[in-house]
Structures are given as structure tokens and as C-alpha cells.
Amino acid sequence: MEDLTQEEWVEQLATDENAVVLDVRTDAEVADGIIQNAVHLDFYKGQEFVNNIEALDKSKNYYVYCRSGNRSGQACKLMEQLGFENAYNLEGGMLAWTGDVVSLKS
């Protein structure tokens, strides 16, 4: 697991053809907007979250974020324990994010 600043995250993501962006916020938080092409898995779903993480392709590179960087850091540590080699946590999460987001509100 590695913590990345927004600048490092954006730069690394731009050149990573094996990348998956993972949003671990709640449904209510995601309703305010999500980073383009992110996969949403709610961290607070407990065992369901763990099962969903275990089903992911371990050969991919995961860029994980939440609201503040705390849950995504925990998710990255969990992923590491489950055998994922490349999980990157967005420092500061969405609170610090200044990039584009896609609104899910209709």
C-alpha cells in the first residue's frame, strides 16, 4: 500500500493501463459525485465488502479513495492482506480532490 498525493495519483493513473479506480464511500457520499470510471464498493458493508474485494482481479493496480483518506487507507491495508500487490490510497480523499467528478444525480 502506498499513500499518494492528488498530483502523484493523477500522474500515475494517467500512464497506468492496468488501473482500476475504487470508491469505498457510502451510497449517500457517492450520490454527490464520483471520480470518472470508478468502481463503487461501500466499505461499511462489512463482509459483503470483503467478499467484493476478494472477487477483484489481483493483477490490476487499484487506486482507492473515500471521503477523507481514512477508509480507503484501511481498504488498501485489507487488500494487501488479501494478496493485492498494488493498492494506492488517495491522501485526503474527496475532501482534498480538486479534479473532475461525475454526478450521479439525475
Catalytic residue numbers, as ranges: 66
Check whether domain 2-96 has CATH 3.40.250.10, yes or no:
yes
Domain-by-domain residue ranges, the chain?
2-96
Handedness of CA 53, 94, 88, 78 (dihedral sign): negative
Tell me: pLDDT of 106 over 90.
no
Bridge partner residues of 90 (DSSP): 4
Q: Which residue has the cell 488501473?
A: 19
pTM: 0.94
pLDDT in tens, 45-96: 999 999 999 999 999 999 999 999 999 999 999 999 999 999 999 999 999 9
- H-helix or E-strand spanning residue 81: helix 70-81
